[in-house]
Amino acid sequence: MISLAELQRHIDSGELSPDAAIARSCDAIDAQDKTIGAFVCRSEKPRAAGTGPLRGVAVGIKDIIDTSEFPTEMGSTIYRGWQPRADASVVMMLKQAGATIIGKTTTTAFAATDPTATLNPRNHDHTPGGSSSGSAAAVAAGMIPLALGTQTGGSVIRPASFCGVAAIKPSFHLLPKVGVKCFSWTLDTVGLFAAGVEDLAHGLAAMANRPELLGDATNSTPRIGLVTQEFACAPEAASEEALRVAGVAAERAGASVRAIALPEIAAEAWRIHTTIQQFEAHQAFAWEYRANYDAMPPLLRGRLDESEHFTPADYEEARAIAVRARAALAETFEEVDVFLTFSAPGAAPKGIDWTGDPRFNRLWTLMGVPCVNIPAIIADGGLPVGVQVIARFGDDAGALKAARFVEKALKRT
């Protein structure tokens, strides 16, 4: 994989020109993407910017995010050839920081569950996960150092776990969603994929112009609460093992690690994630679903068919539960700095018909808290399995710092 932070150091020192860095990504895409299928379209003559912290950094943009220089087809024939006029805010943030938009990456249709043809770079017989399939796969295959995705259920953390890359779903609204196709306005969150946690921090700090996300030099050891999310049912053995290994590694490296119980309302919040997602999806996809029913991606259409029964009262009740759960969760964070939990139920499922289950991600998306995936173990078939570090709302710096600690601890094992 291409480390963004290392690339920046080579560029800063003059060893590598920004244009050469972009050319390297172009070559890697040429070599690999025929097999992997991570890109929907690519820049014909990508050029590096001369300034900015992300000069020389080739970025892939999930194809539900508007781009003024590329079509934005949302993984659906309904938007075939669709060319937005404006760049989404997050695309402009990247451009302002000097990044080069190298192309658009595959997405499940409308970032729901109808899969793409993208393969998992770690094992081509397996899904890369979704919905941000192409972004996770392009970083994992070493094509690009940075990619944007979005998460409504588990669409950033899950594919990152399946592909063995680092990823962050930042605090809700840290990155703006203007120009990002809406699935659920309460849940949709823009996230980043990169080789490692330091790379995520460099990318996010440059985009958001928040240097505090780079972290400080202090070597403090985090207080980690192990969370098993019983309400989401047990994970497979591989994810159990990933969490165990990560916990042991962190403890050996000096962290305090102990099991922690989530407030009771967390289970209820986890359950009503679907109510909020589907009630809002019916409004967000009203034109697609009502005026283009036959052309709708079949899995998404089926889920909308099944969820027509949610009423405004169901939705209000669900929102009230979410508010109470956020407050209760904030209290739990007085006991520990971060949670450590499963990123997915197991390694990437076989085949590319199904992108996997977001059940260990839903609660955290609804809570709006920052989540960072770190690859923890390699399971059968060479498939990576990650764990996620979760901090309190707004503490993205803390999430990144603790994730870096765990990542480093895992490398020692």
Q: Which is nearer to a second copy, 238 or 399 (CB)?
A: 399
Stretch touching a second copy by CB under 8 A, among 38-46, 55-63, 280-288, 373-381: 280-288
- Which amino acid, 267? A
Q: Which of 9, 47, 124, 290 binds a second copy (CB under 8 A)?
A: 290
CB of 105 to a second copy, least distance (A): 20
Asked if 70 is part of the footprint of a second copy (rule: CB under 8 A), the reply reads no
Look at residues 404, 405, 409, 396 and name the one whose alpha carbon lies nearest to residue 175: 396
Alpha-carbon span 82 to 137, nearest angstrom: 24
Q: Which is nearer to a second copy, 354 or 393 (CB)?
A: 393
Alpha-carbon span 86 to 68, nearest angstrom: 5
Q: Which of 77, 209, 256, 413 binds a second copy (CB under 8 A)?
A: 209
Cβ atoms < 10 Å from Cβ of 394: 16
Asked if 284 is part of the footprint of a second copy (rule: CB under 8 A), the reply reads yes
Site string for a second copy, 158-177 (x = CB under 8 A): ---------------x--xx
- Which amino acid, 169? K
Q: Which of 312, 334, 380, 411 binds a second copy (CB under 8 A)?
A: 312
Stretch touching a second copy by CB under 8 A, among 13-21, 193-201, 244-252, 284-292: 284-292
Asked if 185 is part of the footprint of a second copy (rule: CB under 8 A), the reply reads yes
Q: Which of 114, 280, 395, 407 binds a second copy (CB under 8 A)?
A: 280
Contacts of a second copy in 84-103 (CB under 8 A): 85-89, 91-93, 95-96
Counting residues that bind a second copy (by CB under 8 A) gives 35
Binding residues (CB under 8 A) for a second copy: these are 68, 78-79, 82, 85-89, 91-93, 95-96, 173, 176-179, 182, 185, 208-210, 280, 283-284, 286-288, 290-291, 312, 316, 394
